[in-house]
Structure 1
Amino acid sequence: MKKTNKEEIFIELKRRIIDMEYKPGSPINEKNLIEEFCVSRTPIREAILKLSQIGLIEIKPRIGTFVSDIDISSVKYAYEIKKNLEGLAAELAASRITDLELDELFSIIERFKNYDIINDYKKCIKDDQLFHKIVRNASRNPILIEMLDSLNTKTARFLQYIEYVLDDFDWFYSSLNNMANAIKNRDLENSRIICEEHTQKFLDQMSKKFFS
């Protein structure tokens, strides 16, 4: 295997944690990672430190390094903040998105037509996250993108942890489709409103089941 740089290691370990390949509380074995990625200890340590800074890894001195537990309260707070920030991203995207990014949004919507919401829940979660990532990147606001990426890390991991299955697929599909069309039509106000309503409904559903 070719040598991997620290950013690639960070991205891969982050993916494994979010996708539940590394379960909450499980130990991180640096020696195994050094062998897997064919690198020295330094880039592994740097990736682990970066993951600890965004709350995915907990470093316990003289004990070990572990995948962080999921804090339900922080997930709830993340959804509350995401509502307005995702709406702002959609509003900005409506004036700044490229044709290629629009094509990617509608490709995701087409894929949803073929998903089984029970068996393909992982694909549904990933494509929903990808949809919103495209929208926030299209905002062309690096501070907003960074903030939403951080919040999304918390919510995406939680959804994978609970193996979330859509309660109302018809609404979900219609909501994404309406959002994409509002952005395509350069309708800034409706892009924001639809996105805010989309996030609020997720928060309402999560609150009923998991948040006090």
Structure 2
Amino acid sequence: MNFGTPLIRAIIFGSLLTMMIPSIICSIFILFYFIRFREVLERLNNHIILALLLINFIQVISEMPLTLIMLRTRFVAIQSPTFCLFCTIATMFLIIRVLIQKRRIGQREIWRRNRKMVIQLISISIIYMVIWIPNVVCHVIPLIVSSRLPCETATDILHYVQYMPALLCPFMSLIGLPEIRKSLKQTFTRLNHVQPLT
């Protein structure tokens, strides 16, 4: 893999680190809220949000530091094709399972009852698609056109843009969690409350 120029690496490193910190804080706040208020966790649509949030949180705290180390030192800490193969196979099985389950259950009434959850999942899915489509296009173009040069730099940059959905997921999860948004506003209002010194 081409690591790009030092300037590009520094910009990507700074961007990822700048987004990683608020993402971790937001994830911890939401997870803490789920633990503290069990009634929020009892709703079905929040189960899916919690699952997505946990998966993305694990990715951000486990994989992102390795990526940041690689950007900083130009050394890949863990070089295991087995892990990549496992992720690919698990993703395929998950897609197949969802398609089979969709056929088995009458979906129309379920979607109507869980509209808020559907809106959240669609917004998160759109983020994933918007992020992945340019990367896929940059990998397909060299298969069609003989020249690889224009896509190499774009591919190097787009490789790191793939982390954006995991970093943005906690903020997108807040769309369907109005009670957590309200609690966040109250917390920030208390923190920003200015009082005169006596």
Normalization by structure 1: what TM-score? 0.26
Largest Rg, 1 or 2 = 2
Normalization by structure 2: what TM-score? 0.28
